[in-house]
């Protein structure tokens, strides 16, 4: 952790491992409470059930909860990677359908206040992983914290989760505006969560799309909806992914449909499709923010 970020990046450039094309997808939201993590977990489990090798990074570094949502009890987490006592391979835990999860620490202020060097050092640990990955899902924190910006800028695709609340819409627009105006991101996928039907979800999308079309130069894609579903609430209480617990429920069907869309997104082999490039881009994003 004592190395400077530039030195870490130079080391990554010298890696001789075979290229590993991987889809790197960040899931974000303008505010908390919109169901972002639940969406991420269920899409991840659905992708794994479809035969994809999926790694889910809990990137809400100070308020991690993916392990809690799935009833897992990891012995180690990213804090142990930060202090050098464990590698990423050591801390990965397995969830439903073979989904691999990198747990973060919860309630640890240090994790929410990483320096650029610590952030870069933590991410460099990805270069030591020896596991094949098809898709890396990043469950970012809510809002516009530095870590959110870093992860979304490093990803190939960005999914924004919204719900039918005024603050959700305005904060989602604020996040898109920041990423577009300050960091030149142009493409965003929108998921409308907890809606009554597709029409309501489309209306939520249109609200964001209209203001973005007026003030920003971005391309928005309406991925679809996740309907309000009591079966989803039941799954949450059981600490289970609904696609695993109640696969025939309305919400599980929606998550499976969304996962199939993600699975069909092309892998960007050059220049943004390698895990090594993801690491370097994330390091650079951290440096730019600092």
Strands (E), the chain: 23-28, 54-59, 93-94, 100-102, 135-140, 157-162, 187-195, 219-227
What pLDDT band is residue 254 in, cutting at 50, 70 and 90? very high
| Residue range 17-29, pLDDT digits in tens | 445 578 889 999 9
Question: What region, left, alpha or beta, does residue 256 occupy, with left being phi > 0 and alpha being psi -120 to 50 degrees?
Answer: alpha
The Cα 142–Cα 139 span in angstroms is 9
DSSP character at residue 267: P
What pLDDT band is residue 273 in, cutting at 50, 70 and 90? very low
Look at residue 6 in the predicted model and tell me its pLDDT. Answer: 44
DSSP character at residue 127: G
The Cα 26–Cα 168 span in angstroms is 18
DSSP character at residue 42: H
Domains and CATH numbers, the chain: 5-12+20-289 (3.40.50.300)
Q: Is the pLDDT of residue 110 over 90?
A: no
Describe the crossing of helices 275-289 and 5-13 by its angle, rounded to 10 degrees.
Answer: 160
What pLDDT band is residue 5 in, cutting at 50, 70 and 90? very low
């Amino acid at each position: 952790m004592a190395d400077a970020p530039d030195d870490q990046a130079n080391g990554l450039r010298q890696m001789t491992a075979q290229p590993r094309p991987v889809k790197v997808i960040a899931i974000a939201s303008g505010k908390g409470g919109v169901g972002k993590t639940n969406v991420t977990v269920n899409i991840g489990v659905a992708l794994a059930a479809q035969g994809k090798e999926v790694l889910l990074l809990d990137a809400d570094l100070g308020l991690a909860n993916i392990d809690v949502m799935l009833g897992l009890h990891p012995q180690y987490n990213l804090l142990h990677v930060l202090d050098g006592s464990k590698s990423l391979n050591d801390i990965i835990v397995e969830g439903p359908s073979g989904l691999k999860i990198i747990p973060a620490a919860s309630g640890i202020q240090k994790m929410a206040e990483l320096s650029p060097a610590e952030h870069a050092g933590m991410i460099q640990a990805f270069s030591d992983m020896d596991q094949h990955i098809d898709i890396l899902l990043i469950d970012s924190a809510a809002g516009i914290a530095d870590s959110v910006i870093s992860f979304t800028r490093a990803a190939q695709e960005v999914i924004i989760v919204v719900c039918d609340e005024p603050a959700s819409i305005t904060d989602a627009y604020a996040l898109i505006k920041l990423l577009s105006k300050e960091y030149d991101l142009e493409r965003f996928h929108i998921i409308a969560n907890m809606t009554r039907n597709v029409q309501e979800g489309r209306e939520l999308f249109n609200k964001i799309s209209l203001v973005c079309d007026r003030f920003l130069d971005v391309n928005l894609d309406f991925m679809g909806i996740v309907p309000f579903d009591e079966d989803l609430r039941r799954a949450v209480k059981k600490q289970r992914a609904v696609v695993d617990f109640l696969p025939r429920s309305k919400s599980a069907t929606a998550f499976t449909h969304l996962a199939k869309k993600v699975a069909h997104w092309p892998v960007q082999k050059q220049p943004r499709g390698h895990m090594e490039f993801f690491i370097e881009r994330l390091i650079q994003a951290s440096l730019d923010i600092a």
